[in-house]
Amino acid sequence: MSRLLDETRGVLDHALTVFAADPHVVGALTAHRARLGGPLRMALAGSIKTGKSTLLNALVGEQIAPTGVGECTRVTTHYADGPSPRIGVTYRGAPRDDDPVELPALHRRGSLVIETERLDLARVAALHVDWPTQHLRDVTLIDTPGVDSAVTRSVWGELSEDVVDCVVHLVRHLHEPDVAFLESYGDRVAENVGAAGTLVVLSRADEVGGGRVDAVMAAQQVARRYRTDPALRPWCATTTTVAGLVAETARTLRGVEFTSLRTLARLDRAELDAQLLTADRFVAARGVLPSGTRLALLDRFGLFGVRLATSLLRRGVDDSAALAVELARRSGLDELRDILEQRFLARRDVFQARSALLAVDRFLARARAEVPTTGVVPPRPSPVPRTLPPAAPAALASLTEHVERVRTGAHEIVELDVLTRLRRRPLEVPGRAGAALTEEAERLLGDQGASAPARLGVAAETGPGELRAVALAALGRWRGHADNPLADPDAVETAQVVVRSLEGLLVELPRPVAVGVG
């Protein structure tokens, strides 16, 4: 367990003694404590039909989230590793006698089926799916209703405060509902997650460029433009792209599908290209495959996926495993997984500690509002009569000091806070290009990964000697920015944090060994 998590656990234990008389607070703090060191909690957000469930299946490598026509995710659903398949139900308020607390885990045609017909979804807080897989050991995926769904407001009010460490926001294009969600909930989610913990994914990459084989490359160019979009930059760390349906199918490719695709790839190229102009033409084509098989391929791959798969087979991919690997790479899934690993999973302890400390902050703020600082009762009555004794002011002050002491000493959390601020207020330094300096500061603070090569912007195989030289040069530059008397306070504070990050990086790098002269 990391030092940061140990210190955070100490704060939570302290808070539990201060708020021992309030069962609601005790329950929330106990939950935060139990989550420390456990899987990262990653929410998938986006409008209806942006492919949240499809991407979840691709990340897990199994079809456990329902997908299809219409709104598939109508209630928040948590997917976690477990010893055996299980679907639990939690309710808002106490469950009634006839409320099921568990649903049957049914498998049909290789997919998990979640039957919600017996549930009053308006009263369901969340579903909890346990599924035995190594891909959920380090991360719990939280599938959420669409941001344009009627239940979004209450869902994100709950998620932003309690259970989310980071957010993957899926968009088809940067449309109004997505911007509205980011603006409306960005500040609330930023309290826990911040821009440093939010990734925007252009999730229907195959729709860009008319579904051509190079559609993902075209979508990557769009994603790069989004990175500097003023409507988007304040709310996310970066953007990337993925063809979700192809990614899901690549991770769950079946032998019968490979055989069908190989049959198609052996057709005359002009003939197959003519069939793949539209979905209707493909299904109606006569010849080597029946229409039912063609429909199944479209359902699993989409027209873009069939084009891409048959093109790869013509180019020499000769078995199903190799095809699955190449489809995953070309779909953008591999790049997405790398980003999630470098930006989120590598900082799992930091996100969890920050979330827990902010939870304590919220309870402290609420308690202070109820505790008079003089002997006078506050003139504004509470709308809900309090039945529990308030915590003593001295106890609240002691806990506040404990929280601040841990947060101030946790440079990793300070880095996240500065990264979030830089997304909203880029640096302005006299005599320097602010955009370039901001980009360097973000990289040195770990925006592109926490490793030394990622922070310093050099190749992963760079040796320790060269890493030290690059780090020392950067340290000299940023000490100069920190001492610049003309710089504004934000720029000076950012430079000081960058200097501390570089100093810590140099401490971790092995020192050169002096060779004595005989």
Q: If you average pLDDT over residues 12-30, what whole number do you get?
A: 94
pLDDT over 60 (residue 384): no
Where in the chain are the domains?
3-247+334-350, 252-323, 425-510
Residues 395-444: pLDDT tens digits? Answer: 999 999 999 999 989 999 999 989 988 988 888 766 556 788 999 999 99
Angstrom distance (rounded) from CA 96 to CA 101: 10
Place 381 in a pLDDT band, splitting at 50, 70 and 90: very low
Q: To the nearest 10°, the Cα dihedral for 440, 446, 450, 451?
A: 10
Residues 236-281: pLDDT tens digits? Answer: 888 899 998 999 999 999 999 999 999 999 999 999 999 999 999 9
Residues 141-196: pLDDT tens digits? Answer: 999 887 665 555 555 555 555 568 888 988 877 655 566 666 655 555 545 677 78
- Orientation angle between helical segments 320-331 and 291-314, nearest 10 degrees: 80
Decide which of 161 and 107 is more confident.
107
- Orientation angle between helical segments 348-370 and 3-18, nearest 10 degrees: 20
Number of H-type helices and E-type strands within the chain: 20, 11
Instruction: Spell out the long-range contacts of 470-475 with Cβ–Cβ below 8 A and sequence spacing 24 or more.
Output: 471/502, 471/505, 471/506, 471/509, 472/506, 474/440, 474/444, 474/502, 475/499, 475/502, 475/503, 475/506
The predicted pLDDT at position 496 comes to 96
Parallel, antiparallel or unpaired: strands 139-143 and 40-46 = parallel
Question: What's the topology of domain 3-247+334-350?
Answer: Rossmann fold (3.40.50)
pLDDT over 80 (residue 4): yes
Count of Cβ atoms closer than 10 Å to residue 100 Cβ: 13
Angstrom distance (rounded) from CA 229 to CA 311: 34
DSSP state of 510: P
CA end-to-end span of the chain, whole Å? 45
CA 149 to chain centre: 20
Average pLDDT of the chain is: 84
Q: Which residues pair with 139 in a beta bridge?
A: 40
The predicted pLDDT at position 377 comes to 40
Angstrom distance (rounded) from CA 307 to CA 323: 13
pLDDT over 80 (residue 119): yes
Q: Which residues pair with 79 in a beta bridge?
A: 129, 141
Token duo for residue 240: 């990337």
Query: Distances in Å between the alpha carbon of 449 and those of 59, 228, 464, 501?
Result: 20, 19, 17, 13
